[in-house]
Structure 1
Amino acid sequence: MSYNYPKVWSFPPFFTKQPNKETYDTQVNEWIKIIHEYCKSCKVWKITRECPVFTNTAIRRQLETSFIEEIFRELERRGGGSIVSDGVYIWWYTLEEWSSRVYEWVEDNGQKGVMMTVFELEGQFDGMPYDMMEKVLKRLEKQGKVTTVVERDEIVGVKF
């Protein structure tokens, strides 16, 4: 899969943290948009500071690590990512949207009342990592839409 970067990604100053607050806010918004679009387009669930999105070899620019980490924190603050020890899980859709999508899939595919494994669900959603699917299922459980089977602190089965 490939991703067509927007024009701003080829603008050298875009790779330098901007000192003006308004410009900085716009810049961070654009980076978050690019990260989400890149991950959704390429089916990437987790990124690190070494992700290719942060380097444009054609213009010889790379985002500084400290700025990448600021963007990661802002992603998490907005609910568009979840920081983990080795990177950031990227929520292409919000947790609420993923919860709705999973539940709609269950209804559309006649899976209500059927016991399923988390592995089966992950496979239906482009290989969503367990940690992310667990958050989706816990959200659905709070809404009373799913019952989970837990073994050794891990969700192993679900019934909608």
Structure 2
Amino acid sequence: MALSTHTTSTGYLLPSIHSAPPFFTQQPNPTTLSIATEQWIRLILGYARHRKLFFLRVEDAETPGNDWDEVLRNERINRKLLPTYLSYILDTMVKKNLAAYEPPKQTRAVLLHWRLPEEWAEALHEWATSTGQLNSILTFYDITDPPLESSLTGIPIPLLRKAIAILAKTNRAQIITIADGEGVRFFTGNK
């Protein structure tokens, strides 16, 4: 069977390697494993960005019908990624700072960094500047669920906190305690 690309029902173009049965198996040869794992990482991050997915769990490889089905399974060749291999891939992603265990202190679910926290920090500051939010106090909800959808809509709070912390180091943001939790104030600052 020739390897071929495939477009998923959500419009994502899967690479031809996705149609190779060995791709779904954790390879015993370290070099082959390293190459396949890098391809899985690129695939996972690309798909997450395409679908705006922030979390991936080991259980997603076990449970059909979830947001990750069309990547973690290939019904055309009757293959699926095994949870043990997905766990290995997630661990590799965490070690490369392409994901973080969320919640911390467990190893079955990650928050994906299809944009690095530093990139989210820049996007957050650009959004605050372009929408006239400098020097005003915003709740986290104001940012994650704004009246007009933005690139920050739906960003998970742990990732938002990381981005704000990065901005705080350059005096471009400050976390503020407010009546119903936490908020943030953005400043012009310098990078």
TM-score, length basis structure 1: 0.90
Q: Between 34-43 and 57-66, report the one with greater CA deviation.
A: 57-66
Percent identical pairs in the alignment equals 26
Question: Compared with structure 1, are the counterparts of its residues 11 and 118 closer, same or farther at alpha carbon in structure 2 (3 Å cutoff)?
Answer: same
For 2:115 and 2:123, how far apart are their aligned partners in 1? Answer: 10
For residue 177 of structure 2, the aligned residue among 134, 150, 154 is 150
Which structure 1 residue ranges, 5 or more long, are not aligned? none
AA in 1 matched with 2:125: Y
TM-score, length basis structure 2: 0.76
Residue 79 of structure 1 is matched in structure 2 by 97
User: Is contact 1:134–1:155 with CA below 8 Å preserved after alignment?
Assistant: no
Map 1:46-61 onto structure 2 (within 5 A). Answer: 46-49=55-58, 50=60, 51-52=68-69, 53-61=71-79
Superposed displacement of residue 155, structure 1: 5.9
Map 1:7-156 onto structure 2 (within 5 A). Answer: 7-49=16-58, 50=60, 51-52=68-69, 53-85=71-103, 87-123=109-145, 124=150, 125-150=152-177, 156=182
User: Is contact 1:55–1:61 with CA below 8 Å preserved after alignment?
Assistant: yes
Q: Between 24-33 and 100-109, report the one with greater CA deviation.
A: 100-109
User: Is contact 2:144–2:153 with CA below 8 Å preserved after alignment?
Assistant: yes
AA in 2 matched with 1:114: S
User: Is contact 2:143–2:153 with CA below 8 Å preserved after alignment?
Assistant: no
For 1:105 and 1:99, how far apart are their aligned partners in 2? Answer: 10
Residue 65 of structure 2 is matched in structure 1 by none
User: Is contact 1:148–1:158 with CA below 8 Å preserved after alignment?
Assistant: yes
For 2:36 and 2:12, how far apart are their aligned partners in 1? Answer: 19
Corresponding residue pairs, total: 159
Cα RMSD, aligned residues only:
1.9
Query: Which structure dedicates a bigger proportion of its chain to helix?
Result: 1
For 1:145 and 1:22, how far apart are their aligned partners in 2? Answer: 43
Larger Rg: 2
Match of 2:171, SS? coil
AA in 2 matched with 1:60: N
